Structure formats: C-alpha cells, structure tokens
Amino acid sequence: MENEFILSYKMACEWWRRSDLQPKPKNMERVVEALRQAEIEIYSTNFSSDGWLVCEPRPDAIHEALSGKIWRDREWEFSN
C-alpha cells in the first residue's frame, strides 16, 4: 500500500547506528521505541525473531531515527 512503509528487523539492524544505544537493536520492540521517539506512527508490528513493522511512509525520517542522525543533530544544535 502506498501509505505504509514495511520495515523488517533485518533492515532495521542494517540501518541502526545509534551510538547512544547498543550496537544493534536488541529486538523489534526497541526499534518501535526508537521510531516512536522520532514521532513516527506505527500501524502494526510482528515481534517474532524475524519481526517487522508497518508504519507511516517516511523512509528518510525512519533512517535518521535508526542511524541516530536526528539525535546527533539535536545535540549539536543544543551545544552551539
């Protein structure tokens, strides 16, 4: 569907670069938490070992949330 973005746990691990957290997300619940912190709406989830989630279609924001770019930019903004 055009108004959804499907993210697998495998892809989330590949995009994950959060230096403020673990080297990779512990599980899909942690991925969901990171996306919700970035105010990305989650529509449905599958928390199995090869889980996935369906969320709003904002791939750039999703990538930024998982890579930590949002947090690094904010930290820089507040330190200057």
- Name residues whose C-beta falls within 8 Å of residue 30's C-beta, 6 or more positions apart in sequence: 21, 22
Q: Whole-prediction pTM value?
A: 0.78
Can you say whether residue 39 is alpha, beta or left, with left for phi > 0 and alpha for psi between -120 and 50 degrees?
A: left
Please report the pLDDT score of residue 70 as a whole number: 62
Helix axes 69-79, 59-67, angle to 10 degrees: 70
Task: Find where tokens 């770019």 sit.
Answer: 69
70-77: average pLDDT: 53
Among the residue ranges 11-25, 26-40, 47-61, the one predicted with the least confidence is: 11-25
Residues of the chain with pLDDT > 70: what percent? 82
Query: What band does 66 get if pLDDT is binned at 50, 70 and 90?
Result: very high
Contact between 67 and 61 (Cβ < 8 Å): no
Residue 71 has pLDDT above 70, yes or no: no
